[in-house]
Chain A
Amino acid sequence: MVWGMFPCHTLGPLIPVEQRLNAIPCRFYAPKNSGCSEGKGVPDPVRTNAKMSVELDVFVGNTTIMDEEVYQFWLDGYTVNDAVKVRMEGGVLEECEASAEVLRSDTMDQYRTFQMCERLLHSPAKLANQLLFQIPPHRQAMLIERYYTFDGLFVREVLGKKLSKGTKKDLDDVSAKTGVTLKSCRRQFDNFKRVFKVVEELKGPLVENIRQHFLLSDKLARDYAAIVFFANNRFETGKKKLHYLTFQDFAFCAGQLISNWTVGALDNMVEDMDVDLEKEFLQDLKELKILITDKDLLDQHKSLVCTALRGKTKAFNEMEANFKNLSRGLVNIAAKLTNTKDVRDFFIDLVEKFIEPCRSDKWTAGDMRLYLTHYTNSAHILDTFKHQVVWDRYMGVIKSCILKMYHD
């Protein structure tokens, strides 16, 4: 017997006990045979073996602990069980001799943390000065960036659609089509909607507003600007002919449109921000019609372009033959943009009126660049054509959009 560890223990003077009425506060008095927790929202207790079950299991750190891998599972809308399964296959268990049970408990903990953080992620600025979770800044940035990251496939489906309840209801179809889980679809959709709502009421440059308000990286902020811009102008992107275009193609075009054709493009701090195309500019575009209505001008333009192109490309003959058609196509698109309906069809028109004919003539990307450059520049030499500024503003965007969109 070592070190006096076992003392005598005393049974103190026993005191008679009064009749007691409620030993447990009545609010918490659970009848003995009421059966144990059957809460529906409560995650199923983990059966560890036949004789015991985990009723409650939490793990909290002073600095909030997060596993990036699990965060991704959560964002992707995996259930706890699915996430556990995937993690198990990923071989975490062998690394550290843990059991499935340990893995499950860890996954649940993380999921709970993310759920609690989600409220804060809805207004990321709060994340920095809230007191509930102590998260190092670089982690905060990671959380936000990943939360607002979206699937290219998913966004392609809703791009240009109205961010309304109706669209949200159709998300299960989108989910089925894209293979992105419904939960993840909803999160992404809600993100779009939230960003849309916030910037709608703000003045100043769109991208900058998004970046400041949601603390996103420049790239992601630009993508969101594109989404907002498309949703606001309701550009048609879902037609079959447009299917070959990726979100990044559209995002690029949106960037071009935002920085050149909107009100904000000229003056940063105007009342209306860069979500809408500038009305006056659209009105001015009508003047360009002269390029196709005036026969002399059209011929003159054609000869100038052909002179410049001759011998420089294999597709010269097709270019010469199609010149009038193509030019009519582009100028007509410009002239019609005052019409909201035609604005929506902007991309469809570009593809139908210009890209498809060229593609059937087997133009290369180089041909396209050459053609558009000369097409734009030649107009300057036309002495009777007075709308040089509008022309440049129009063709600058059209050129870069077409170049971006001209692929298979």
Chain B
Amino acid sequence: MPGKLKAKIVAGRHLPVMDRASDLTDAFVEVKFGNTTFKTDVFPKSLNPQWNSEWFKFEVDDEDLQDEPLQITVLDHDTYSANDAIGKVYIDIDPLLSCEAATVISGWFPIYDTIHGIRGEINVLVKVDLFNDLNRFRQSSCGVKFFCTTSIPRCYRVALVHGFVEELVVNEDPEYQWIDRIRTPRASNEARQRLISLMSGELQRKIGLKVLEMGGNAVVGYLQCFDLEGESGLVVRAIGTACTLDKLTSLHTIPTLTDGCVCSPGRPVFSEDPPHPLSGPPTPLRTLPSSSPPPFSPSKPCSRQSSSSDTDLSLTPRIGKTSPPSSPSPPLSAPFLIPSQKLTEFPIFTLTCFPPGFLVHVGGVVSTRSVKLLDRIHNPDEPETRDAWWEEIRQEIKSHAKALGCHAVVGYSESTSICEEVCILSASGTAAMLNPRFMREGCLDTGGSDHRFEDASPPSCGFVHIPYDEFNMPFPAQLTYCYHCRRQKVPDVLFTTIDLPAEAEVTGKGCLIQARLCRTKKKAQGEVNATSISNLLPFMEYELHTQLMNKLKLRSMNALFGLRIQISVGENMLLGLASATGVYLSALPAPGGIQIAGKTPSDLSYDQHISTMQKRIDDTIAKNKELYNIHPPECIEEVVGSPIPDRQRSSRLFRSTSESSDELSELDLSHGKKDAFVLEIDDTDAVEDIQSLLTDAPIPAGFYSCNTEVMPGIYNWTSGLQMFTSVRVYRLSNANLTNQGLNKIFTDLCENLLKSLYFKLRSMIPCCLCHLNFTVAVPEEELIQVRGHTYLSTPLQSWSGENEEQLQFSMELCGESTISNNQPTAKPSVSSSERCSPLPEGRSRSLRSTRSLPCGAPVTVVKMTPLSFLPGTRIVKYLGIINMFFIRETTSLREEGGVSGFLHSFIAEVFAMVRAHVAALGGNALVSYSMKECVFMENPNKNQAQCLINVSGDAVIFIRESDQEAIPPLLSSRQTSSTGADGTT
């Protein structure tokens, strides 16, 4: 009995009228956890009942605490007939299980009904008393922190990155069970919501167990997805990066915290006395209580590793299967020779943003797709088929990375697209070389052995240097010496899925680049269908790539960050959408222009046509250079043709690893020979390319857009204003469209959505649309759904926008926060955001009690952003992950304003519920927000529609930077105390 859950129902407000006769409601509440149910008294004849119930206590296993949500049902008492349900609230109590997150959940929650939407609000208090269970064989993993954020959370320091964790849970979808034929839609929706809530709880618990086993205490970049496989079942899967995080507490600095951790080289912010990157003493690792050697052996027989990277790549073996380590990582004689082999066990990272020094080299994008046919999940306890599929994919990703001479994949993500029984599994990431000191204890004895990083390059250009062997390049590319350090080779173009590293040097500004593609496909069934899709995929990827390349050149940029390629399958078409942020990296060579060549010679008018087109392209390039302010210093081109002998030590070192990569030859590289910069106009494809190149509407003045977290080239953003979600569904009325026609339409759709955004936000300029991401789907035949969400920031100079009101307790908060001033060199914003004391509990509790007064205090403003931070503010506390799944259904579609009205109010409701949960945890913002799923189905003939939405993010408390400066007396007094504390340590 390791946990006691306590819940108290305080009051309700704005309840709906349930009794037509009196225009009032006799409401009572059922509180359910697991199989235990409590009830409050009936509060008769009121729309604002005050129950003020006793504490309902549930004594439960911590395993259940992790899996189950607290379920609160509000009902209307009826003497003669059955009680009518008003609605429900599901509360995930996971944030209460970690001592560093929230301590109490308290606040107003919208009462939600899957048919009627939000119907009033209820005030609830929830607490957990946890008796920690240190049983080795426990099934729970309380205390492991989860973050959706794909960078190291702002008030933590990473001590160790353990690597990839994944898990997958399957079940039958209640919507497709036989019982669904006899139960009400409401019952079916609720069963589904509850099941998914349970499954994600279970998933999180299982992942937590794996993390504990690896010796970590947190999962960063946690990405959970649902696959609604229809009648094949329901799959919930998650990936993440296991880490050991230390909370940054400047007041209570323990010696081991600062000295004993693995401190990254260029990261002095974190410790008073940063160990020198290379000469630092071997540092004992301080992690979780589990001091036993990690169960995964880092040292496999080397011979085997090097020979076959794809036979033995068991990713994080399942529990129970783990064999004890053969030997506790024997010190290797020459650790620098085979760092990649030491890491092959867990070479995949979901992070997109890294501490400086973490990335050594970046190879390029690796991606894999696989087409599968779904069948019914026969035994939910054995999700092996799906597991095997993903394992296969990950292995392939790894082998691609290896082909690029890299030992790790960063910025990794997985996705699926399902249409009937066909499923495309996709994974992509960026092949990279990482600094091993973050990974392993064994690698930490740096004492000069780290030759590979010794000559390594100034941080501002090191990551663009090629990791692969230039004698044995995986693909043809033009190499030049780095324009920054002039010592090592760099490619001419770089594509990545990660965010722009903070230390990278950029010329000019970045911009959003999208490639869009639509391909028709014959309708088919089963294997035939799968095969035809599978045949189309490589061509689609190739074409998306060409488009990206051309658009990049047109903007005279040379690198893409945050690349996301999405391929969606529909019954009779495939959609491809690639978005990325283009930048000009100063270290890479300037891109050449685009040349148009005609095949048929010497027709005068034809030549003219070509030359006008060429002129248009040249003009556009010139204009774009101006627009994005790209004026690189003139450099003498020194192209180094690939196989030129070179004396670089690093390249020789790499050879040893890449010799074994015989997959290289397996890669189909034939299409890579085509030169991307000469467009041959004869070919219809090329005409299409040029069309799409030149029809991209220019972005209106005053707007900037990117799909990464920060806009490259502009750095002084103020606190963001807004987060938007936009959903559009288009119906194609003519099914017999050609590829080109479809392409045109699809491009128009995306352009229109962008134009709409610009139009709506015209009053905010100059502003930047950050993290602008589109999701496409083909929900039905002839329907295309495009979903975009973005976050708006305005630059500091012209801060004109909305006067958002301050949070009611922000001033009090900053009174408690401590900023010590004695950091060496760091950007002020960073330093202050990393160093703060946690919110004192007493304070927060008293604040909450004022908030929970029924009907009294105003609603807390909760910000939402897809970024991992809020510009102009600093996050002082992470309160836990928010992961919610909602279903809404209507049988009166027309009355609710048609499909748009229905979805509009549903999305607004989802936002409201998310905000309420964040506020109840004591937070004032949700960062790393994402809407992962938005499945919409309608049947206008029956006046019905249904929609499923899944959202997630991290609940946080932030304070404004300006608030800290506003209270100098407090600050200075704190400073003295903090220096005192430092003195004692």
Residues on A lying within 8 angstroms of B by beta carbon are 1-12, 14-18, 20-32, 34, 36-43, 45, 48-65, 95-99, 101-103, 105-106, 108-109, 112-113, 115-116, 126, 128-134, 136-138
Contact = CB atoms under 8 A, between A and B. Distances in A.
Nearest to A1: B672
A23 B420 contact: yes
B431 A137 contact: no
A8 B666 contact: yes
Interface string B887-903: 00000011101111101
A365 B760 CA distance: 53
B946 A95 contact: no
B967 interface: no
Interface in B852-905: 855, 858-859, 861-864, 893-895, 897-901, 903-905
Given A3-B365, A16-B375, A113 B904 contact: yes
A113 B760 CA distance: 14
Contact of B899 (A20, A42, A128): A42
A51 B366 CA distance: 36
Closest 10 CB pairs of A and B: A1-B672, A3-B364, A42-B898, A41-B894, A56-B729, A37-B940, A55-B729, A62-B864, A98-B759, A58-B904
Interface of B: 13-14, 108, 110, 118, 121, 175-176, 180-181, 185, 230-231, 363-376, 385, 389, 392, 396-397, 400, 403-404, 420-421, 431, 474-477, 491, 493-495, 525-527, 530-531, 534, 537-538, 541-542, 545, 549, 666-669, 671-674, 676, 697, 700, 721-734, 737, 741, 745, 748-749, 752, 755-756, 758-760, 762, 781, 783, 785, 802-805, 855, 858-859, 861-864, 893-895, 897-901, 903-905, 907-909, 911-913, 915-916, 936-944, 946
A24 B938 CA distance: 11
Indicate the member of B368, B526, B760, B855 with the most A CB atoms within 10 Å: B760
Nearest to A38: B940
A325 B668 CA distance: 111
A50 B915 CA distance: 41
Indicate the member of A2, A16, A134 with the most B CB atoms within 10 Å: A2
B375 A65 contact: no
Nearest to A5: B365
A132 B538 contact: no
B755 A102 contact: yes
A108 to B, nearest CB: 7
B475 to A, nearest CB: 4
A129 B366 contact: no
7 contacts: A6-B671, A12-B373, A14-B530, A42-B893, A49-B745, A62-B911, A65-B724
Contacts of B749: 52
A174 to B, nearest CB: 28
Contact of A50 (B373, B734, B943): B734
Contacts of A14: 373, 526-527, 530
A319 B803 CA distance: 60
A101 to B, nearest CB: 7
A3 B363 contact: yes
A28 B944 contact: yes
B667 A8 contact: yes
Given A41-B898, A56-B936, A112-B904, A50 B733 contact: yes
A372 B708 CA distance: 77
Given A39-B943, A96-B700, 13 more contacts: A2-B549, A2-B676, A3-B404, A5-B366, A5-B545, A8-B666, A17-B373, A20-B421, A27-B939, A42-B897, A55-B729, A58-B907, A138-B803
A90 to B, nearest CB: 13
Given A57-B728, A132-B110, A2 B759 contact: no
A7 B396 contact: yes
A55 B900 CA distance: 8
Given A1-B669, A59-B756, A116 B864 contact: no
Contact of B756 (A8, A20, A61, A106): A106
A136 to B, nearest CB: 6
Contacts of A126: 14
A106 B363 contact: no
Nearest to A99: B755
B911 A2 contact: no
Contacts of B936: 56
Given A65-B760, A112-B900, A134-B915, A22 B748 contact: no
A60 B781 CA distance: 26
A136 B420 contact: no
A102 B475 contact: no
Contacts of B760: 59, 65, 106, 109
B241 to A, nearest CB: 22
Contacts of A131: 108, 110, 118, 121, 859, 912-913, 915-916
Nearest to A21: B231
A55 B901 CA distance: 12
A183 to B, nearest CB: 16
A61 B737 contact: no
A51 B741 contact: yes
B196 to A, nearest CB: 15
Nearest to B549: A2
B732 A105 contact: no
Contacts of A4: 363-366, 400, 403-404, 431, 474-475, 667
A47 B108 CA distance: 43
A27 B183 CA distance: 12
A342 B481 CA distance: 101
A53 B731 contact: yes
Contact of A40 (B366, B861, B894): B894
A129 B858 contact: yes
Nearest to B910: A60
Given A8-B667, A95-B762, A54 B730 contact: yes
A9 B565 CA distance: 14
A63 B926 CA distance: 13
A137 B859 CA distance: 11
A97 to B, nearest CB: 6
Nearest to B493: A2
A93 to B, nearest CB: 9
Contact of A56 (B752, B899, B915): B899
A96 B369 CA distance: 40
A27 B893 CA distance: 14
A10 B392 contact: yes
Contacts of B903: 56, 58
A400 B730 CA distance: 64
A129 B859 contact: yes
A50 B745 CA distance: 11
A328 B475 CA distance: 110
Contact of B475 (A3, A62, A95, A98): A3
B724 A59 contact: yes
Contacts of B672: 1-2, 6
B908 A132 contact: yes
B420 A28 contact: no
B442 to A, nearest CB: 29
B727 A58 contact: yes
A42 B944 contact: no
Given A2-B493, A3-B364, A132-B110, A8 B668 contact: yes
Given A1-B673, A34-B941, A133-B908, A51 B185 contact: no
A27 B185 contact: yes
A51 B110 CA distance: 42
A134 B946 contact: no
B861 A28 contact: no
Given A11-B371, A61-B723, A62-B863, A52 B185 contact: no
Nearest to A16: B375
Contacts of B364: 2-5
Contacts of A20: 231, 421
Given A2-B545, A3-B363, A98 B396 contact: no
Contact of B118 (A2, A3, A65, A132): A132
A108 B370 contact: no
Indicate the member of A1, A15, A102 with the most B CB atoms within 10 Å: A1
A10 B900 contact: no
